[in-house]
Structure formats: C-alpha cells, structure tokens
Amino acid sequence: MRESVASGPLPDADGQVREPIHGGPGPMTPGVTRDLPTPSVPHAGSDSGLGLDGETNLSDAWLVERARHRDHAAFAVLVRRYERKLTRVLARLVRDPELARDLAQETFLRVYNRLERFDTARRFGPWLFRVGVNLGLDCLRRSRSEPPPPASIDRPRGDERLPFELPDPDPRIRIEVAQEVHHVLGMMPVSYRTILVLRDLEGFSSSEVAAIVGRQEATVRWRLSKAREKFREIWQRRQDEAGREARDG
C-alpha cells in the first residue's frame, strides 16, 4: 500500500458518489419486493402524481401518508428510493450479498406492516435503516462466526473514485487500497464496523447515524472516534506486516 487513510473518511470500493439518506430513486434489486402487495400503479395523467418522471419531487412524508392508506404505488416509490442503499449497507454489515438482499426484503416487509404505528413526526429514512440495521445485527448475533468477505460485495470495476488523493493515479492502486479498507473493516468489532460503514462509507450525518443505531449523537461521535482509532491500528499493523514480507521476500 502506498497511502494511509487514517486522516479522513474511509474510501469506498465501488467508487460511487453516495446519495444522501433522502436521495432519489435507485434501481430495484430483483426479489426485494416480491412479497409486497402488488402496487396499483396509476395511469399517466392521473391525479396521484406517482409517475416515474415526477416521483423524485415527492417527499417521504407525503409518500408515507399515502402508503399508510394502503396506496401500494406510494410505497413502491419508497422502495425504489431506498432499496439500493439499504442493500449496500446490509451487505457491508453482514458481509454476504445474498443474505443482505434477503434482509432488505424483510426490512421493507416489516416497515410496510408497521406503517400504522410509525410516528410521522420522525423522518422515514433513519427509521427504515434502523429496522434494517437491527435485523442485520440480530442476524450476526445468531451466527457463531461471521463469513469471510465475498469478493462480490464491492466488485472493483477499475473506475473507482476515492475521497482522498493518491500519489499514484494508477487505478489498480486505488482498487488495492479500497479492497484493503474492506478487509480491515471485516477484522473490526461489529459495533465499530457499523458506525464506520454508516458514517464514513455511506456518508450519513452523525445525527442520522444516531437515529439509526438508537444512540445519542455524542455517543456516536465518541464511538466513531474509537472506531477510527481501531481502524488505524489494524491498518498500520497490516502495512507493517506487508512491508516486512516484501523485504524478506
């Protein structure tokens, strides 16, 4: 490795600029909505306003209110809006893409069935991710050991853009650094990994992370500091080991 990531946010191995928690719709992941009620999608020109061309202008609060009255098309918009990011967060948490897709489906099903109890004074996005992250953590607690990180979680494509500058523009170096970041994350306690994934990889604000993990914002900032410290410790140890192996080899 030729660059340290100790001083800033962790790089993302797929190189995408991450949408905020209230970001626009992403592509549907096959299977996530297969058990949801079939949405009654309105015809173009109807007064529902749920056409694909205009759905990015619809607020979460408006869509939730419609979905609470069993407007399935409104809930389908919420799924499109959050599914990709939710699945990605879960994949990084449980380190199993197939399991992450199943957990994302379960998350949407639970949220759909609990809409009547949802406090509309709260934001929908953090609530959705809190349900999903809790499912992921429960899954990890039930398992005796975590699986190794599959290569397909963040498959490098050679066009990665990392949120820090590398001295070498070679994309292979950027991919190598990103892969090492995810390897180090896999060696960390799950509580630290959760905070780093949400805050540094996915770009949630501290207040959003606090809402997702159910902690005070001050606690999140403290835990984030400890998690980054642990990350730097593991990172440096691996760099030192790699350097010794290179010299001895």
Model confidence pLDDT, tens digit, residues 35-55: 454 443 333 333 344 554 567
Fold: same for 1-17+161-249 and 21-156? no
Average pLDDT of span 117-124: 91
pLDDT at 245: 82
Side-chain half-sphere exposure of 215, counting CA atoms within 13 A:
16
Say if domain 21-156 classifies as CATH 1.10.1740.10.
yes
Per the CB < 8 A criterion, the answer to whether 72 and 38 are in contact is yes
What's the CA dihedral at 171, 177, 180, 185 to 10 degrees? -120
Model pTM score? 0.70
Domain boundaries, the chain: 1-17+161-249, 21-156
If one counts every other C-beta atom within 10 angstroms of the C-beta of residue 169, the result is 8
Say how many Å lie between the first and final Cα of the chain, rounded: 16
What pLDDT score was predicted for residue 131? Answer: 97
Length in residues, the chain: 249
7-12: average pLDDT: 46
Q: What confidence tier does 154 reach under pLDDT thresholds 50, 70, 90?
A: very low
Asked if residue 228 lies in contact with residue 206, where contact means CB atoms within 8 angstroms, the answer is no
Q: Which two tokens stand for residue 8?
A: 């800033």
Q: Which of 29, 33, 80, 32 is nearest to 54 (CA)?
A: 80
The 3-state DSSP class for residue 18 equals: coil
The whole-angstrom separation of Cα 76 and Cα 144 is 35
CATH code linked to domain 1-17+161-249: 1.10.10.10
Q: List, for residues 180-195, the tens digit of each pLDDT value.
A: 888 888 899 999 999 9
| CA distances from residue 161 to 55, 140, 171, 174, 229 in whole angstroms, order as listed | 29, 30, 9, 8, 24
